[in-house]
Amino acid sequence: MKKRILCFVIVVCTFIIVRAEGADSLALTPPMGWNSWNCFSCDVNEQQIRDMADLIVANGMKDAGYTYVNVDDCWQVGRDADGNIVVDSVRFPSGIKALADYIHSKGLKFGIYSCAGSLTCAGRPGSRGYQFQDARTYAEWGVDFLKYDWCFDEAQSPQGAYRTMRDALRASGRPIVFSICEWGSSKPWTWAKGVGHLWRTTGDIINAFKGTVHWGGCSVVDIIDKNADLYPYAGPGHWNDPDMLQVGNGVLTTDENRSHFTMWCMLAAPLLAGNDLRNMDKETLSILTNKDVIAVNQDKLGVQGRRYMKIEQHEVWVKQLADGEAAVCFFNRDEQPWTFEYKIGKDNYHFADIRFWELEYDVYDIWNKNKYLGTSSDNLSFKVPAHGVVLVKLTPKNKK
């Protein structure tokens, strides 16, 4: 009898654990949207966020797939006597629900920010001790996405803290994408599948192409290197998050912006624009909304690209796509342009080496409106600008 009870308990516990870690259908492709932090930092307010939503619709970003409008830190100022989170009523006089309603009325989704510690990174009230209450509030407001930070963690276990909030969000009854922002310290890629839909892999992105800064901020290239080996951990519903985009924030050159965006697409990264959309130039918009490049990011197979070859400053990355296709990115980290002659049998690089399948491919230049370049048996030549990329798509030849 005892044995039967024990078996029953084991079966029930297994069921509960499997259910708790089970996948849902949110974020089957990397989430796309906009977030306030990279351009506005703490200086957020409701009019500015409404403006962003209006612009995302008007400038074509919504059509290109940008869906979430996310307010980062600094919307919250305290807690009331019942423990409810209090919104900054000077900056958000209509309240967060009205803002979420407005964003929903535009056919977009609304995201918010909190922290697993007792304070957020900007010193505002965090959710520690209030996880279920906060999650209920978010659901009442119509929140669709929660970014959950890791400042003032007070030596909690990240696994425990993020599971608690995951459970709180589930208990709220509203489907909410859960973005883990723990900066990669505990290797969340090894434990966060089934906990969050995306997890930051590094410290904060800085507005620079190369280099690092003393507090742990990482440049574009630095983040790419830190994500290169993480491809086995990404897939539909669970993504490595190399942080929000710095495209259009005034420091990167056009080629660098394009490389940054392309490599985030190759990495199957969430695409959260981080620039002020009110004064975006045409070039930035054309980068952020290039549908052919975005298609590489949003490919339904959900495979993260990997670095296939690296010869000093020259790299070849490959991302397997659905239907036997592949995206190949030639990434030049060098200060000098790189001319890459692809000749069968005469060069170090061959598409034949890159192949995963014994096939011949048609080759298309993705940034150039998918212009046909020839087949993988032809001699091809690519000019890759300094700090730039060339991105091609390989389509199995004679594919119907």
Catalytic residues: 149, 204
* Residue 338: other Cβ atoms inside 10 A: 20
Does residue 73 touch ligand GLA according to CB under 6 A?
yes
Cβ nearer to ligand GLA, comparing 147 with 319:
147
Q: Which amino acid is at 202?
A: T
Q: How far apart are CA 371 and CA 149, in angstroms?
A: 42
End-to-end CA gap in the chain: 62
**Nearest approach, Cβ of residue 353 and ligand GLA (Å):** 38
Taking the least distance from each CB to ligand GLA, the nearer of 216 and 337 is 216
**Under the criterion CB under 6 A, does residue 112 sit at the interface with ligand GLA?**
no
Distance CA(182)–CA(169), nearest Å, equals 18
User: CB 35 → ligand GLA: shortest distance, Å?
Assistant: 8
Closest of 231, 218, 166 to residue 192, by C-alpha: 166
Taking residues 164 to 203 in sequence order and writing x for each that binds ligand GLA by CB under 6 A, - otherwise, the string is: -----------------x----------------------
Q: Is 72 in the site for ligand GLA (CB under 6 A)?
A: yes
Strands 371-375 and 380-384, bridge-based pairing: unpaired
Q: Which stretch binds ligand GLA (CB under 6 A): 53-61, 119-127, 380-388, 391-399?
A: 119-127
Does 149 engage in binding with ligand GLA (CB under 6 A)? Answer: yes
Choose the binding region for ligand GLA from 75-83, 116-124, 275-283, 347-355 (rule: CB under 6 A): 116-124
Cβ distance to ligand GLA smaller for residue 201 or 289: 201
**Cα separation values, 240 from 187, 243, 270, 328, Å:** 10, 9, 8, 20
292 class by beta-carbon count within 10 Å (0-12 exposed, 13-18 middle, 19+ buried): middle
> Which residues inside 11-40 make contact with ligand GLA, applying CB under 6 A?
37
In the complex, least distance from residue 275 CB atom to ligand GLA, rounded to whole angstroms? 15
Residues in the interface with ligand GLA (CB under 6 A) total: 10
| Cα 62 to Cα 85: distance, rounded to the nearest angstrom | 30
Minimal CB distance residue for ligand GLA: 121
The residues near 108 (Cβ < 8 Å, ≥ 6 apart) are 33, 53, 56, 57, 62, 67, 68, 69
Measured N-to-C along each axis, helices 254-266 and 220-227 cross at an angle, to the nearest 10 degrees, of 20
Q: In this chain, which of 103, 121, 293, 329 binds ligand GLA, going by CB under 6 A?
A: 121
271: contact with ligand GLA by CB under 6 A: no
Which range binds ligand GLA by CB under 6 A, 21-29, 80-88, 113-121, 266-274? 113-121
**Contact flag: residue 218 with ligand GLA (CB under 6 A):** no
Q: Does 122 bind ligand GLA (CB under 6 A)?
A: yes
Interface region with ligand GLA, contact rule CB under 6 A, candidates 114-122, 227-235, 247-255, 298-306: 114-122
Residue 120 binds ligand GLA, judged by CB under 6 A? yes
**Closest distance of CB 106 from ligand GLA, Å:** 24
Piece of 1-9, 118-126, 249-257, 307-315 that binds ligand GLA (CB under 6 A)? 118-126
Point out which residues bind ligand GLA (CB under 6 A).
Answer: 37, 72-73, 113, 120-122, 149, 181, 204
